[in-house]
Amino acid sequence: MRIRMRTLVAATGALALSLVSGCAQQGAAGSSPNTVTYWLWDANQLPAYQACAKGFEKENPGLNVRITQLGWSDYWTKLTAGFIAGTQPDVFTDHIQNFGQYADLKVLEPLDDLGIKDSDYQPGLAANWIGKDGHRYGAPKDWDTVALFYNSKMTKEAGLTAEQLNSLSWNPQDGGTFEKAIAHLTIDRNGKRGDEPGFDKNNVKVYGLATNGGGFGDGQTQWSNFAASAGWSYLDKPRWGTKYQYDSKTFQSVIKWYFGLAKKGYMPPLSDYNVQSNQANTQVAAGKAATAFDGAWMISTYAGFKGRDIKTALTPVGPTGRRATMMNGLADSVTKASKNKAGAKKWVKYLASDECQKVVGRYGVVFPATKAGTEAAVAAYRKKGIDVSSFTEPVADKKNFRTFSYPIASYSADMTALMSPAMEDIYGNGKPVSSLDETNEQINRILSQ
């Protein structure tokens, strides 16, 4: 999982991390001059990084890597607690949403001396980890984009071809051909499709589009591709902006249309969504939804659904004439209080190298940040019979695609804490999108501190 930390961060980030500056200099527990402790959250990636550790230890005799894999929620809880108690690891997998907060609180070690070059990685990945102070705090690890997963049996029965699904467009007025397709894929309990007379929106058997909830403040697998393809941006600057733009009329028109799909019965109501047990992928697996926007980290999950032939299509073309997708990239960071900074930096440099990233790529779980690593992953997926072009094409074709990052700014936990309930109120409680004006003002007051 890559995006499900919002509740945790909102609850613990701003309060608990405020204590870090005075408490985190005790050093990482269990670390020593001969050991580098490394934390990650994805169990699927653990074997790949264990293989990298063997290669690293062979090149660095006497230096050992001890890897700890924690579940998504436990990971961030224990990392936050570790920063306070001085028990954090030497190196950890970092998420761009937390980067601003961690950099501001000075719990990350600068990595300027690693010689990281933008050109060695996929576009934008290296630049995203430069702090407001001009120092580097993360080495590119991997990346992901978002595409439309679909049940090919359902789309075939609806008369929709792969070519049609890859040619969809949308607009906030009537939803364009995208909404028409989603409506046609929706079926009520009497067998009526969403675009047929007599369709009962209150008794739906199969939704045209699965839900991943309200989308918090970034909408990665919800509304982000629509907002970006309409020309909107989270902040006034791509990185370290000073003002959020949730009060934009363009953004609010997108949100009104997107959540309106649920009012029409084409997407499940918010009450059907559960972050633990009923995410978009489980809705598709159960046959309760025909399509879902989801990230590249979910490719193997969808491919593994028994009895389901799941394929992918590109995000739809927006009012700007381009498609859009968030391009998120994780990084490996060294903690400021590490007892073994020299060894930690060696490990991070190795993790960011072609040598390790090609190994990771060959496991076919994620797209590594280097171009060679990405190529190895594409080959691994191809060997499994999985076409991943819907995820890689946006990175290669900048003319027809807009790729963009998570909003990179200070006080990200505070933004999330305010935007999460605001978006759920609009989606689930029918609150007007104009209510985002006040929320946006609150967030920007915090950001201006």
Please give the C-alpha separations between residue 328 and each of 86, 140, 142, 291, in angstroms, as whole numbers. 29, 11, 8, 21
Give the C-alpha separation, 338 to 354, whole Å.
25
Coil/strand/helix, residue 46:
helix
Give me the phi and psi of 131, to 5 degrees please: -75, 175
Residue 19 has a pLDDT of 43
Q: Cβ(33)–Cβ(340) under 8 Å?
A: yes
Residue 403 has a pLDDT of 98
Q: Which CATH architecture has domain 6-144+330-386?
A: 3-Layer(aba) Sandwich (3.40)
Give the C-alpha separation, 136 to 112, whole Å.
5
Coil/strand/helix, residue 224:
helix
Superfamily of domain 146-326+411-447: Periplasmic binding protein-like II (3.40.190.10)
Coil/strand/helix, residue 407:
coil
* Burial group, residue 199, by CB count within 10 angstroms (0-12, 13-18, 19+): buried
Where exactly are the structural domains of the chain?
A: 6-144+330-386, 146-326+411-447
Residue 73 has a pLDDT of 84
357: its two tokens: 């990233």
Identical fold for domains 6-144+330-386 and 146-326+411-447, yes or no, is yes
H-assigned helices in 169-308: 176-185, 224-229, 249-263, 280-285, 299-303
Give the C-alpha separation, 281 to 270, whole Å.
15
Residue 277 has a pLDDT of 84
Please give the C-alpha separations between residue 130 and each of 40, 112, 140, 143, 446, in angstroms, as whole numbers. 21, 9, 11, 17, 22
Q: Strand pairing partners for 39?
A: 68, 92
Give the C-alpha separation, 241 to 415, whole Å.
13
Residue 23 has a pLDDT of 42
DSSP states along 266-300 = SS--GGG-BTTTB-HHHHHHTTSEEEEEEEGGGHH
Give the C-alpha separation, 45 to 54, whole Å.
15
Give the C-alpha separation, 210 to 225, whole Å.
15
State the pairing for strand pair 310-313/146-151.
antiparallel
Residue 187 has a pLDDT of 98
Q: Strand pairing partners for 143?
A: 329, 367
Q: Give this prediction's pTM.
A: 0.93
Mean pLDDT split into 10-residue runs, the chain, 449 residues: 41 44 44 88 96 98 97 92 95 93 92 96 96 96 98 98 98 98 98 98 98 97 98 96 97 98 98 90 98 97 96 98 97 96 98 98 97 98 97 97 95 94 98 98 96
Residue 4 has a pLDDT of 40
Give the C-alpha separation, 186 to 273, whole Å.
17
Residue 111 has a pLDDT of 98
* Burial group, residue 399, by CB count within 10 angstroms (0-12, 13-18, 19+): exposed
Give the C-alpha separation, 240 to 405, whole Å.
12
Backbone dihedral region of 307: left (phi > 0), alpha (psi from -120 to 50 degrees) or beta? Answer: left
Q: Strand pairing partners for 289?
A: 207
C-alpha closest to that of 137 among 95, 169, 178, 109: 109
